[in-house]
């Protein structure tokens, strides 16, 4: 499209005839219309926001989060509350054993004293250690980068919790009540942030992202890291970002800005 505009500009400068100008412009318009149609189709194929029943997840997509750690610290409380509400986990008065799919972590630089906070959840690694160590394959990475636990296959060995560098997983230590139909859980199995896979597959954003947007915050941008035109990709290309424990080369799908 840009090339076409430039070409038109050059033609005008060269003082071409009116008829030639009109025919060129007509051809240009047709090209633009066709090109945008093609672009729309190709984008729709690259990021099918609604995944049909029985359609496998596509490796053309890489879902991810960009977290802006310079945001209002209360934003992370919003995320935690939204995740609890959406997925049905809660504090039961046993802080050592209560599951936490997402948590607010406060950081203070030991040398400078500078402080910040951020949300910590499953980092949806490209090379997840939890998936590597799981003996039964219950821990798995979907083609689109979402790391999940198959609750029917998990035997509750907790090796994945030993292997996760982020402390992102929880073991269900007690009976469960008031489960959400969209997010079945299981006593004696391991669980963690699913990136709200049930929402993503129906074309929605994860609950934490929607909750932030509802309060006018863009503290977390969600999207397809493989799509160069997505907002997350544009932001990631514009600002320096950090992957936590990058030394382990796990290629997390969650990136942090401002760390």
Partner 1 sequence: MKNMIVFKELDANGLDYLALLGWLLVFIVAGLGSSWYMEHNGHIVTGMTNQIVWGMPHVFAVFMIIAASGALNIASISSVFQRKMYKPLARISAILAIALLAGGLMVLVLDLGRPDRLIVAMTKYNFKSIFAWNIYLYSGFFVVVLVYLWMMMERRMNRYARAAGIFAFVWRLALTTGTGSIFGFLVARQAYDPAIMAPMFITMSFSFGLAIFILLLLFTYKATNRPLGDRILFMLKNLLGVFAAAVLYFIVVRHLSNLYATHRHGVEAFILLNGGVYTALFWIGAVLMGCVLPIALLFHPATGKSCSAIMLSCWLVILGGLAQIYVIIIGGQAYPLDIFPGYQVSSSFFDGVVHPYAPSLPEILLGLSGMATAVFIVAIAMRYLPILPMSLSDAAVDPSHDKSK
Q: How far is CA 174 from CA 160, 164, 188, in A?
A: 19, 22, 8
Residue 193 CB, shortest distance to partner 1, in Å, is: 13
Closer residue to partner 1, CB minimum distance, 120 or 225:
120
Tokens of 230: 């997505």
Please report, as ranges, the residues that interact with partner 1 according to CB under 8 A: 94-100, 103-111, 120, 129, 131-138, 153-159, 161-167, 170-175, 186-190, 244-245, 248
Closer residue to partner 1, CB minimum distance, 131 or 209:
131
Closer residue to partner 1, CB minimum distance, 156 or 228:
156
CA distance 256 to 106: 14
CA distance 36 to 99: 47
Tokens of 135: 């003996």
Closer residue to partner 1, CB minimum distance, 106 or 229:
106
> What DSSP state is assigned to residue 50?
B
CA distance 205 to 187: 27
Residue 159 CB, shortest distance to partner 1, in Å, is: 6
Residue 96 CB, shortest distance to partner 1, in Å, is: 4
CA distance 194 to 148: 6
Residue 59 CB, shortest distance to partner 1, in Å, is: 19
Residue 38 CB, shortest distance to partner 1, in Å, is: 41
Mark 14-43 as b/e (b = at least 16 C-beta within 10 Å): eeeeeeeeeebeeebeeeeeeeeeeeeeee
Do β-strands 254-257 and 63-68 pair in parallel, antiparallel, or remain unpaired?
Answer: parallel
Residue 90 CB, shortest distance to partner 1, in Å, is: 13
CA distance 232 to 243: 14
Closer residue to partner 1, CB minimum distance, 46 or 161:
161
Closer residue to partner 1, CB minimum distance, 69 or 226:
69
CA distance 114 to 108: 6
Residue 180 CB, shortest distance to partner 1, in Å, is: 19
CA distance 66 to 208: 12
Closer residue to partner 1, CB minimum distance, 89 or 223:
89
């Amino acid at each position: 499209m840009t090339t076409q505009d430039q070409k038109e500009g050059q033609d005008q400068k060269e003082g071409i005839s009116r008829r030639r100008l009109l025919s060129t412009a007509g051809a240009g318009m047709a090209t633009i219309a066709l090109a945008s149609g093609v672009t729309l189709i190709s984008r729709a194929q690259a990021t099918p926001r609604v995944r049909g029943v029985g359609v496998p997840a596509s490796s053309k997509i890489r879902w991810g989060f960009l977290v802006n750690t310079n945001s209002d610290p209360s934003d992370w409380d919003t995320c935690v509350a939204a995740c609890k509400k959406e997925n049905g986990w809660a504090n039961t008065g046993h802080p050592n054993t209560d599951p936490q799919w997402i948590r607010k972590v406060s950081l203070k630089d030991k040398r400078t004293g500078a402080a910040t906070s951020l949300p910590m959840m499953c980092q949806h690694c490209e090379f997840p250690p939890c998936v590597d160590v799981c003996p039964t394959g219950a821990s798995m990475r979907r083609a689109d980068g979402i790391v999940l636990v198959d609750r029917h296959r998990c035997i509750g060995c907790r090796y994945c919790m030993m292997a996760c560098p982020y402390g992102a997983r929880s073991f269900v230590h007690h009976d469960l009540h008031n489960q959400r139909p969209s997010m079945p859980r299981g006593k004696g199995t391991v669980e963690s942030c699913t990136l709200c896979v049930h929402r993503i597959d129906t074309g929605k954003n994860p609950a934490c992202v929607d909750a932030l947007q509802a309060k006018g915050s863009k503290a977390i941008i969600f999207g397809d890291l493989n799509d160069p035109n997505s907002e997350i990709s544009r932001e990631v290309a514009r600002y320096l970002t950090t992957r936590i424990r990058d030394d382990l080369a796990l290629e997390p799908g969650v990136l942090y800005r401002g760390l």
